[in-house]
Amino acid sequence: MSIEVVIYGAERKCASCVNLPSSKETMEWLEALLNRKYPEQSLSFEYIDIEAPKSGYEQLANEIIEEDRFYPFITVNDQVVAEGDPKVKTIYKTMDEIIHNQKIS
């Protein structure tokens, strides 16, 4: 079963994220990192521009804008794992839990 990683962001950086990589750069880094860490796992990555979201992603994209959330805003199988500066340990923990639960099912 595939794990879906979604990175929400925008071309312009949020005010507190000026010194961090862009949302797209974060997605590229995260994709390489997770594919190396979980080579046997089927992973899909999606970048969603919060200012012009794809169909099906509008609600969360609008919430990010309206609630002044930090981005990149990252979800793994619809679980929020990062907002702003992503923490690798938190993402790994969520990934490990999802993979463990898939093996049990």
pTM of the predicted protein model: 0.92
Q: For 5-59, what is each residue's pLDDT tens digit?
A: 999 999 876 666 667 788 999 999 999 999 999 999 999 999 999 999 999 999 9
Beta-sheet pairing, 79-83 with 73-76: antiparallel
Torsion angle defined by CA atoms of residues 28, 34, 36 and 42, in that order, rounded to the nearest 10 degrees: -110
Q: pLDDT confidence of 104, banded at 50, 70, 90?
A: confident
By residue range, what is the domain housing residue 88?
3-104
How are beta strands 3-9 and 43-49 bridged, if at all? parallel
Element (H, E) at 83: strand 79-83
Q: In total, how many domains does the chain have? A: 1
DSSP letter assigned to residue 14 = P
Residues found in the chain = 105
Output the domain CATH number for residue 40.
3.40.30.30
At residue 89, the pLDDT reads: 97
